[in-house]
Structure 1
């Protein structure tokens, strides 16, 4: 919104801003969780099909994906885990900023 100003100078815009922030947080967390669940189910299905039912580490999981992903199994597995983590960073940073502001009695 081009007419939006910092809430310090336009506190009447806070309700709309908080609705947008809440929606952004909920959508961001929902998407990151859906991607994480997709990774878990895909990995589990692939591993089960390969006969691997006892995984004790992420290294073992990536190694078990080699029949499907080949030599890039470790890279693909790592990219999925890192990508999921990166999706959650902005959402967690925003919610942490609000928590810190509230804890320090700042007007947030």
Structure 2
């Protein structure tokens, strides 16, 4: 069996401020409230720093996704410009051939 030591009233009074048993519950309640205040004080920096770290990570991910979308948009834009240039060249070639064909027809009619 475990032996329990009797705590001297002087020790209880030094620690809790009271030595009488009826006041111990009240003192324990006070100590619990103080302990909560201390633990709240410890978390004052931990919670915001953790939140800041989470926010930084989220911002990095958002920035990365934004860059991916910008690169995709730039690629699509380049492809569109290339296709438009090709269409412009085709149109110019078609118009030149059309002019040549029209000139040939006119020459044939003049003969």
| Bin for the TM-score computed over the shorter chain | 0.3 to 0.5
Larger radius of gyration: 2
Structure with more contact order per residue of length (Cα contacts < 8 Å, sep ≥ 6): 1
Considering fraction of residues, name the structure with more helix: 2
